[in-house]
Amino acid sequence: MDFANVIRTIPDYPKRGIMFRDITTLLGNPRAFRRAIDEMVQPYAGVRVDKVAGLEARGFILGGAVAHQLSTGFVPIRKKGKLPHTVIGEDYALEYGQDRVEIHVDAIQPGDNVLLVDDLIATGGTALAGIRLMERAGAKVVGCSFVIDLPELGGADKLRAAGQKVHTLVAFEGH
């Protein structure tokens, strides 16, 4: 399947010069959604995965489906202040300022093998923060799976340079 044909591109969103890659069209297409999940899972067949961690927010949709396919648990990695129980967090740099991702303290057990999932890898900042957070919780990140790679922004290369296996389904040039 050519995933590029089922992902809508919205020019100049959220600001001029950005080509927003909208996966809601993929999610709404049953065959494309099923195929995307199957292809995100395939590299991890036979690999021990104890939890799938999904980055807020589209990573929740994809990560939940991937966790289901792998018959494992799901961990939501949320933005600061969204989780109701005791949390651990990881700060990361934005273009202007900082942000933070968090998980519940009991979401990961030391020694868990975790697969990180999101819809898109751009600069890699949020994904790297998620990886550091999983590792601080005692997990081993066994891979990172994304629908979209924006190679010009270098995020997938940063993850690979950090020793991570990165799997993507489609690459788009530009931002």
Question: Catalytic residue numbers?
Answer: 58, 95
> How far is it, in rounded angstroms, from Cα 114 to Cα 3?
25
Cα angle 80, 164, 110 (rounded to 5 degrees) comes to 60
In the chain, which ranges are E strands?
Answer: 8-11, 19-22, 51-55, 73-79, 87-94, 97-104, 113-121, 140-149, 166-171
> How far is it, in rounded angstroms, from Cα 142 to Cα 116?
8
- For residue 173, CA distances in Å to 8, 27, 36, 44, 139 come to 14, 21, 20, 27, 33
End-to-end CA distance of the chain: 23
